[in-house]
Amino acid sequence: MSAVLSEAPRVGASKRRVTFKKVLDNVGVRILLIVMSILFLIPLYWTVVTALKQDQELAVYPPTLIPHVWAWENFSKALDIMPYGTYFMNSVLITSLNIIGALISGMLVAYGFACINWPGRDKVFYVVLATIFLPTPITLIPLFDMFASLGWVNTYLPLVVPAFFGSSFNVFLLRQFLLQIPREMMEAARIDGANELQILFRVVFPMARPALAVVAILVGIGVWNDFMGPLIYIQDDSLRPLAIGLQFFQSAHDIQYNLLMAASLMVLVPVIIFFLFFQRHFIKGVVVGSIK
């Protein structure tokens, strides 16, 4: 009896140490996350501050953390220099077509790798996956020669058509998600007489919305911010997207940093709204897709 009583304080002390260690770990993690969040927000904060400064305040040293005079007119000046409406619609068109192409092609290929058994399936998947490590600069010249021979230069086709042929990363992400779907549901649909396309669009597609949202966000942000593609293939000013339009604020002798930052914010806001709209599906898709 005395031995049992003597062990009780030790157990209580051990539990207190474990609880204190958990609290300490949680506090440490939270502090680290706060510090990292601040580091990531500093560039955005500086962009906003610079966009609201007057020209003479840009040359002040040390730089001011808060503008002395809030120059909201910088946004209207930026709109006067850059045809924002035209470039915005061009970016929306290119981004929308890329998202549609990525979702259709990625879903079809991922379904073939995850839900249909055929000889050599896994080996072919590993070959497709290996193309992720292929550096983009290696393919720039061959692709430009091919698109030029097709007469696609100075059109949106080089920026849109590749999205309809699948991306290895999108295929990988969607495949990992589709592996979580119970096979019994697909087998039941096959027994009922459904073909593979019917199973894909009526059974699998509705369940894969979180993963599709992840692909849509990643593709949308990547295409919206793409500078190299439009710079290479688009020559007509009326066809250029917003990412290219920012060069209007740079010249050989001067860069209007406050107007450039104001225009950059107007380019960034649609992306933030797009992400916030799909944020819940994005987090769910990343968590579920990374399980297996």
pLDDT in tens, 179-212: 888 888 888 888 888 888 888 888 888 888 888 9
Query: Is there a contact between 231 and 244 (Cβ–Cβ < 8 Å)?
Result: yes
Q: Please report the pLDDT score of residue 150 as a whole number.
A: 93
Single-letter amino acid, residue 288: V
pLDDT of 252-270, one tens digit each? 456 778 888 888 888 888 8
In a domain, 64, yes or no: no
Do 174 and 232 lie in a common domain?
A: yes
In a domain, 66, yes or no: no
Do 85 and 214 lie in a common domain?
A: yes
Do 41 and 83 lie in a common domain?
A: no
Do 93 and 185 lie in a common domain?
A: yes
Q: How far apart are CA 194 and CA 181, in angstroms?
A: 17
Task: Give the mean pLDDT of the chain.
Answer: 83
* Mean pLDDT along residues 93-98: 95
Do 171 and 87 lie in a common domain?
A: yes
* Mean pLDDT along residues 148-164: 93
Counting the structural domains of the chain, the total is 2
Contacts of 244 (CB under 8 A, 6+ apart): 87, 227, 230, 231, 234
Handedness of CA 122, 123, 125, 130 (dihedral sign): positive
In a domain, 199, yes or no: yes
In a domain, 63, yes or no: no
What 3 state SS string does 123-191 have? Answer: HHHHHHHHHHHCCHHHHHHHHHHHHHHCCCCCCCHHHHHHHHHCCHHHHHHHHHHHCCCCHHHHHHHHH
* Mean pLDDT along residues 165-177: 90
Do 185 and 80 lie in a common domain?
A: yes
Q: Please report the pLDDT score of residue 117 as a whole number.
A: 86
pLDDT of 27-57, one tens digit each? 778 888 888 888 988 888 888 888 888 878 8
**Of the candidates 256, 228, 102, the residue with the CA atom closest to the CA atom of residue 165:** 102
**Of the candidates 159, 169, 146, the residue with the CA atom closest to the CA atom of residue 243:** 159
Contacts of 112 (CB under 8 A, 6+ apart): 118, 121
CATH (domain of 272)? 1.10.3720.10
Do 146 and 15 lie in a common domain?
A: no
Do 128 and 241 lie in a common domain?
A: yes
Question: For residue 12, what are the domain limits?
Answer: 2-51
Q: Give 287's pLDDT tier (boundaries 50, 70, 90).
A: low
Do 27 and 88 lie in a common domain?
A: no
Q: Which residue has the tokens 């924002």?
A: 84
In a domain, 144, yes or no: yes
In a domain, 61, yes or no: no
Q: How far apart are CA 21 and CA 42, in angstroms?
A: 32
In a domain, 193, yes or no: yes
In a domain, 59, yes or no: no
